[in-house]
Structure 1
Amino acid sequence: MDEFKVRTIDLQQVQNQTRHRTDGLSSSTLVLRRGQAFTVTVNYDGRPFDSLKEQPIFRIDSGPLYVEAPVSESRHPSLTQWTAVLEKCIVNPTGHRALSVSLSSPASAPIGAYTLQLRVHTRLSVITYFLGHVTLLCNPWCPADSVFLQSEDLRTEYVMSDIGLLFKGSTGNIVPQSWSFDQYEKGILDICMKLLQLSPQHQADMGKDLLNRSSPVYIGRVISAMVNCNDDKGLLMGKWSGDYKDGVNPSKWSGSADILRMWAETQFRPVKYGQCWVFAAVMCTVMRALGIPTRVVTNFNSAHDTDGNMMIEEYYNEMGEKLSMSRDSICKGELQVFQELQVLDPTPQERSAGMFRCGPAAVKAIYEQRVDAQYDVPFVYAEVNADVCTIIIRNGKVLSTSIDKRRVGALISTKRPGSMSMQNITSEYKTEEERCCGSLAGVAGRSVTCHSQPQNAMFMDSRGVEVSLQLLKAPVVGENISFNVIITNNDAAVKLLKKHVNAQNKEYNRNPTGSFWESHDDMKIGPKETVTIKHEISFKEYMLKETAEDSLVNLAVVIEDVKSQERVLASEEFNIRTPSLNIQIQNEVSVTINTPQVATVIFTNPFSFAVRGELTVSGSGLLEEKAQMRITIQPRETTKKPVSFTPRMAGAKMLSANLVLENPPTILHGFKTINVQAS
């Protein structure tokens, strides 16, 4: 009878990827999850398979490392090593024969690119067959995998979902912005794998790096460093002020695919530019693509404590103008969280073990204030818990000072699973005592009172006069900013006061620039009297001079008691949000895969002058290419722009629209979620 001879080998790509929940991921390889069996069919000619005469051995290569898995008839695959189990022998109607073999990787297998080969030993020969390439991912569905998530709803949200919401602005004026993670877009998984291959760890010691990739902690630290470009051939270059003419304004990004592709297409030169939320959102894409459950977290008023004293110093002059004297900063920080709540922050701020990265730091350790725990727990703890010391100075001398325990980490939020709404997760990071001390989230008009201090008594509690600020409504571009200054005289005597109010633009993640509006008055206040003074800053006075979004303003008031020279200060940092774009879907309840649909982007010009700009509409799984058009809108006019799309994936999808205006130079956003039905 003819010798056993392999004819073809079928990796069963469609069936295997469906079972491994990787069928939506685009790659040039078979994409699998570790710790789970997959089927290979070996078609052969000749006599029936006899395990005593033929010995098939699968070889799995990754760089300099390899393992071999002889085909066994045992029904108990190993949980700790690669195994190959003969499932059945098949005789096709054509007379051809086949072996169905179940291969399994251990749940701790390093993730990455593998090559599969089959070597068949027979009585007369040893022949090796090349099967193809495999990309192996983490497996949150496998209880033995360290990234396992019990909840199917959370796996759907934090691994499978490619739509997200980022929260920007300030606690009193929160702005949700859509983000498309794009992990299913063409070529994105392969580019994410390239981040691992180009990492300094892989370049220095390929074998060690490949072995270490069994650990999601290790993977997280590598990716945290590779998302920024400060130490390596990383993905993004950060920029927080100035013009962005030699790159892309961070506010224009709406998804990760454009950034990842630009990096790959330019031979891995860093993409210009990113800011906190961009770094975080792109990292979320990479981690979800690798199979590690991840969410984007916004920490409003995130502290960057450069000197490690858990204190953020802010300096003002006696006229209420904030000064750029401290390297500490209070920015809007976005954190990354994955399995068992570990914090990663890819924004380049401080070095961790010699590289610009942060985490993974256990949220439990942050909550329990265990600042000796790995990795970078003290840094993250300061981001959500640092005190703010506000100091008024004149000619280098301290006039007054105060400590504010309320501002930093006032609100920590993320997208609610299964919903396009915000979830407050502050309680996961901070104890009840810390939150009671510190959180005034969502309350407009938070004030800090500073008191004059004798030369040798820095924290004397003198409260002859109190002052606070109150925003009358959430500021919107095109409208006046209205606010009250509320002054209370606690003494039983008339007081003569000097009032200094100052508004400054605040660069993202940095100190304020020069004042764009100020008001100075002398006034008299009666005993035990409270006075409310209304101010308005007109649109012309604050209109942006360069393209910006959710512009930040630092508003401060200093009240000076003429007689005692006591000074009190109140400050409020807030954003000026842009008007929103509205998206409507024709036949919204019956959107079906592969069926053409029409969306309409609607915008009413709120300004008293014509505006022009470029409208861009995108949607992963909905539009093959972005729809772009130039538009001009007359004062108070409503424009309606139709966009045709054909869904190519079922499930929750999202259309995003950006309108970049030239005058005023700002960016408007809108989004619409769509539930695409299977055909």
Structure 2
Amino acid sequence: MDELKLRNVHLQQVQNQIRHNTDGLSSSTLVLRRGQSFTILINYDGRTYDPLKDKLVFRIVLVPLSVEVPVSVSGNPSPSQWSAILERSAPDPNAGRTQIVSLFSPASSPVGVYTLHLRVETRGSIKTHVLGQFTLLCNPWCQADSVFMQSEDLRNEYIRNDIGLLFKGSPENIDSRPWSFDQYERGVLDICMKLLQLSPQSQADARKDLQNRSNPVYISRVISAMVNCQDDKGVLMGNWSGKYSDGVNPSMWSGSADILRLWAATQFSPVKYGQCWVFAAVMCTVMRALGIPTRVVTNFNSAHDTNANMVIEEYYSEKGEKLSIGRDSVWNFHVWVESWMKRPDLDGGYDGWQVLDPTPQEMSAGMYRCGPAAVKAVHEQKVNAPYDVPFVYAEVNADVRIIIIRDGKILATKVDKDRVGALICTKRPGTMVMQEITAEYKTEMDGMPFMFSSDARGGGGTAERFSRSGEGANGRGVRQGVGVSLQLLKAPVVGENLSFIVKITNNMAIPKLLRKHVNAQNKEYNRDPTGTFWEDHDDLKIGPNETVTVKHEISFTEHMLNEAMEDCLVNLAVVIEDVKSQERVLASGEYNISSPALNIQIQNEYSVIINTQQVATVTFTNPFNVAVSGDLIVAGSGLLEEKVQMRLTIQPRETMKRPIRFIPWMTGAKMLHAFLELTDRSTVLRGFKTVTVQAA
């Protein structure tokens, strides 16, 4: 028995992944984090391993890169290079002899899928064995890694948490919708690694790409481009046309796994379709899977400044209709992500959260991507800092110039400095509620912190005072004789009429003859409104220093949309014209129409045990005066292996209850998510319930 003969090698997947905080991630390989040791068991027959006679050399390959790592019998791992140290050896009567080796990867190692080889050199022979593959990720638990995050609670939220909330709507009426990031779902991590392998950078120069993959700044720019398909074999195709018959309505997606799997199953053809929150949510999944702490962020009243002059121009007719003129726009909301990393490429002090936006809007260095733009650089107006800080700065800070025109002639103008970036928010760690982060992007205005009063969230329209053309945009020197405001009487809900009041005030001690023009238009969150669907025009007399209140009501049948959407928005505007002085004032507001919610209750929700059947009940009361039909779909990563789907018809005012049985297969905070697309009401209804699954 003089020969040392390798019997097998055990990569200890379970033990290593628990130590590396990658347990639960589904991959065809061992999953590890860089900057941390992992252990390998080597079983062999024959004589005892003798380091004076025998040599063990690991070869670690990331094609076309490779490194050879001889096994040392003692010492400590080097922080800057791969190393392998013999831990101990012991005879095993059942498995021959066992050698335990600790392999260490530096914290600057490239992210990728590696192949591990072992060469056994003895006096009599040299034999090489392929041991298998491992996927190496960034490591926010390691201080030497450039994505290190100090707080364990924040690491759990921004790396390990697989459920989230996306915020949409308008600052006055915020809607939250659940999203399942799905990084633990079968095959998702392997698909995320494909984004790196299929990127134009990898295809053009694989060696250079792999060398750069040690840097999360580089990785994040690659992923920002690869989530959209504008320049590459990216994941998602954007569509804001309202026509989705050859794909999926963006509002129908509820998690990232379906999208990523469809991309992989179709030979990496773009998935149809996505909009900003879908792009951002999928990018969050990929970045968390790669080990880079990431959160989804919503910017309400987000400016798209195409000519980079920091001014967005909006045009209204003299009768209050918002006009589609110019390429600049203000989206009611826009969703991007922030990722946590060091920025050694900047002067210093700009580590931390970085804006990344995969929605294809403008090119950055020849590709449709955005960021990483340091949030602190945006706050400090450091617009010369890479990457794309000026674009992000404009998204949260641009001025809005509102112009009333007739036959191409400007009748009045007003500059609004407060609307853009009115509220910037994300999900609060450890909860399912909103956290406002506006102050991280913007300086305080007039010494006051960013906050909304109860009035500001009550649905009031923005009253704009205008100067007449040629008298100055700020209205100085122009006596404003009339004031107007617009306010909803209650939050708009699908199926109900839209009720609001217009309040007109005569600030002068003389009576006035006024013309009132009220206009309503449907709109999508990312563009100007479509044509007017309701309007009202009349003349009225108002006494000296008098205030007149006029109530208006728009029936649901007038403002309902034909295409199923969850972002139903209405632009309301009122223009008051002083007949004698030709002075005009405008009040406007954009309001999202909320959908009724599904309710989910879980039996014994505080004692949900892994691998034990549980029962949830989905409840919905039909608020409409007609029967509705649709498909109810219930999903839950870690709770349901497959989605539950059923066809429903619900009578007027009927309460529907459907039990859903599930067996949790992962512990921790999980979420059941239900949505119901009403085919005859053009409405998507949603509901969710979070539950903590306990170990047996």
Instruction: Tell me, yes or no, if structure 1 residue 112 matches structure 2 residue 129.
Output: no
The aligned amino acid for 1:430 is K
Instruction: Tell me, yes or no, if structure 1 residue 406 matches structure 2 residue 418.
Output: yes
1:660-679 counterparts in 2 under 5 A? 660-679=677-696
> Structure 1: how far apart are the matches of 2:378 and 2:149?
21
RMSD, aligned CA: 1.3
Task: Report the more deviating stretch, 582-591 or 526-535.
Answer: 526-535
Instruction: Tell me, yes or no, if structure 1 residue 451 matches structure 2 residue 466.
Output: yes
Equivalent pair of 1:616/1:628 in contact (CA under 8 Å): yes
Any idea what the Cα deviations from partners look like across 1:161-206, whole Å, max 9, x if unmatched?
A: 0000011111111111000000000000000000111100000000
Change (3 A) 1:457 1:429: closer
Match of 1:267 in 2: 267
Aligned mate of 2:379, from 363, 367, 385: 367
1:436 Cα offset (Å): 4.7
Task: Indicate the SS of the match to 2:531.
Answer: strand
The aligned amino acid for 1:451 is F
Task: Report the more deviating stretch, 477-486 or 150-159.
Answer: 477-486
Task: Indicate the SS of the match to 2:464.
Answer: coil
Aligned mate of 1:358, from 370, 382, 394: 370
Match of 1:302 in 2: 302
1:21 Cα offset (Å): 1.2
Match of 1:321 in 2: 321
Change (3 A) 1:492 1:419: same
Equivalent pair of 1:223/1:283 in contact (CA under 8 Å): yes
Task: Report the more deviating stretch, 459-468 or 291-300.
Answer: 459-468
Aligned mate of 2:570, from 542, 546, 553: 553
> Structure 2: how far apart are the matches of 1:354 and 1:343?
19
User: Which ranges of structure 1 fall in alignment gaps of 5 or more residues?
Assistant: none
Instruction: Tell me, yes or no, if structure 1 residue 344 matches structure 2 residue 356.
Output: yes
1:300 Cα offset (Å): 0.9
Equivalent pair of 1:409/1:439 in contact (CA under 8 Å): no
Equivalent pair of 2:525/2:567 in contact (CA under 8 Å): no
> Structure 2: how far apart are the matches of 1:557 and 1:225?
42
Equivalent pair of 2:185/2:257 in contact (CA under 8 Å): yes
Match of 1:257 in 2: 257
Any idea what the Cα deviations from partners look like across 1:602-621, whole Å, max 9, x if unmatched?
A: 00000000000000000000
1:459 Cα offset (Å): 3.8
Task: Indicate the SS of the match to 2:67.
Answer: strand
Task: Indicate the SS of the match to 2:530.
Answer: strand
> Structure 2: how far apart are the matches of 1:380 and 1:479?
37
1:199-210 counterparts in 2 under 5 A? 199-210=199-210
The aligned amino acid for 1:325 is I
Match of 1:31 in 2: 31
Task: Indicate the SS of the match to 1:143.
Answer: coil
> Structure 1: how far apart are the matches of 2:425 and 2:299?
7
The aligned amino acid for 2:372 is P
Task: Indicate the SS of the match to 1:210.
Answer: helix
1:100 Cα offset (Å): 0.3
> Structure 1: how far apart are the matches of 2:317 and 2:511?
26
Any idea what the Cα deviations from partners look like across 1:569-628, whole Å, max 9, x if unmatched?
A: 111011001000000111111110000111111000000000000000000000010000
Moved over 2 A (4+): 433-444, 454-462
> Structure 2: how far apart are the matches of 1:454 and 1:305?
24
User: Which ranges of structure 2 fall in alignment gaps of 5 or more residues?
Assistant: 341-351
1:183-202 counterparts in 2 under 5 A? 183-202=183-202
Instruction: Tell me, yes or no, if structure 1 residue 619 matches structure 2 residue 636.
Output: yes
Task: Indicate the SS of the match to 1:287.
Answer: helix
Change (3 A) 1:433 1:455: closer
Equivalent pair of 1:4/1:44 in contact (CA under 8 Å): yes
> Structure 1: how far apart are the matches of 2:505 and 2:679?
44
> Structure 2: how far apart are the matches of 1:188 and 1:94?
37
1:534 Cα offset (Å): 1.2
> Structure 1: how far apart are the matches of 2:675 and 2:30?
35
1:439 Cα offset (Å): 6.6
Match of 1:489 in 2: 506
> Structure 1: how far apart are the matches of 2:447 and 2:533?
34
Instruction: Tell me, yes or no, if structure 1 residue 530 matches structure 2 residue 530.
Output: no
TM-score calculated relative to the size of structure 2 = 0.96
Match of 2:596 in 1: 579
1:335 Cα offset (Å): 1.8
Instruction: Tell me, yes or no, if structure 1 residue 312 matches structure 2 residue 305.
Output: no
> Structure 1: how far apart are the matches of 2:446 and 2:527?
26
Aligned mate of 1:442, from 447, 450, 457: 457
1:482 Cα offset (Å): 1.2
Change (3 A) 1:95 1:368: closer
Any idea what the Cα deviations from partners look like across 1:61-87, whole Å, max 9, x if unmatched?
A: 001100111001233100111100000
> Structure 2: how far apart are the matches of 1:264 and 1:379?
32
1:562-573 counterparts in 2 under 5 A? 562-573=579-590
Equivalent pair of 1:408/1:438 in contact (CA under 8 Å): no
Match of 2:141 in 1: 141
Equivalent pair of 1:390/1:450 in contact (CA under 8 Å): no
Equivalent pair of 2:524/2:567 in contact (CA under 8 Å): no
Equivalent pair of 2:58/2:118 in contact (CA under 8 Å): yes
1:456 Cα offset (Å): 6.3
> Structure 1: how far apart are the matches of 2:626 and 2:279?
36
1:55-94 counterparts in 2 under 5 A? 55-94=55-94
Equivalent pair of 1:240/1:510 in contact (CA under 8 Å): no
> Structure 2: how far apart are the matches of 1:608 and 1:458?
49
Match of 1:334 in 2: 335
Match of 1:212 in 2: 212
Equivalent pair of 1:409/1:438 in contact (CA under 8 Å): no
Equivalent pair of 1:241/1:507 in contact (CA under 8 Å): no
Equivalent pair of 1:464/1:490 in contact (CA under 8 Å): yes
Instruction: Tell me, yes or no, if structure 1 residue 656 matches structure 2 residue 668.
Output: no
The aligned amino acid for 1:334 is V
Instruction: Tell me, yes or no, if structure 1 residue 4 matches structure 2 residue 21.
Output: no
Instruction: Tell me, yes or no, if structure 1 residue 384 matches structure 2 residue 392.
Output: no
1:249 Cα offset (Å): 0.7
> Structure 1: how far apart are the matches of 2:660 and 2:9?
45
> Structure 1: how far apart are the matches of 2:567 and 2:624?
17
The aligned amino acid for 1:336 is V
Question: How many residues were matched structurally?
Answer: 679
Any idea what the Cα deviations from partners look like across 1:510-564, whole Å, max 9, x if unmatched?
A: 1110111111110111112222211111111112111111301111111111001
Aligned mate of 1:396, from 375, 391, 408: 408
> Structure 1: how far apart are the matches of 2:246 and 2:674?
23
Equivalent pair of 2:410/2:469 in contact (CA under 8 Å): no
The aligned amino acid for 1:517 is W
Task: Report the more deviating stretch, 430-439 or 471-480.
Answer: 430-439
Task: Indicate the SS of the match to 1:477.
Answer: coil
Task: Report the more deviating stretch, 89-98 or 3-12.
Answer: 89-98
Task: Indicate the SS of the match to 2:307.
Answer: coil
Task: Indicate the SS of the match to 1:432.
Answer: coil
Task: Indicate the SS of the match to 1:449.
Answer: strand
> Structure 1: how far apart are the matches of 2:446 and 2:78?
48
Match of 2:348 in 1: none
Any idea what the Cα deviations from partners look like across 1:188-227, whole Å, max 9, x if unmatched?
A: 0000000111100000000000010001110100000000
Instruction: Tell me, yes or no, if structure 1 residue 596 matches structure 2 residue 608.
Output: no
1:437 Cα offset (Å): 9.6
Equivalent pair of 1:407/1:439 in contact (CA under 8 Å): no
Match of 1:236 in 2: 236
Task: Indicate the SS of the match to 1:48.
Answer: coil
Match of 1:629 in 2: 646
Equivalent pair of 1:406/1:439 in contact (CA under 8 Å): no
Change (3 A) 1:222 1:23: same
Task: Indicate the SS of the match to 1:512.
Answer: coil
TM-score calculated relative to the size of structure 1 = 0.98
> Structure 1: how far apart are the matches of 2:242 and 2:22?
42
> Structure 1: how far apart are the matches of 2:673 and 2:383?
40
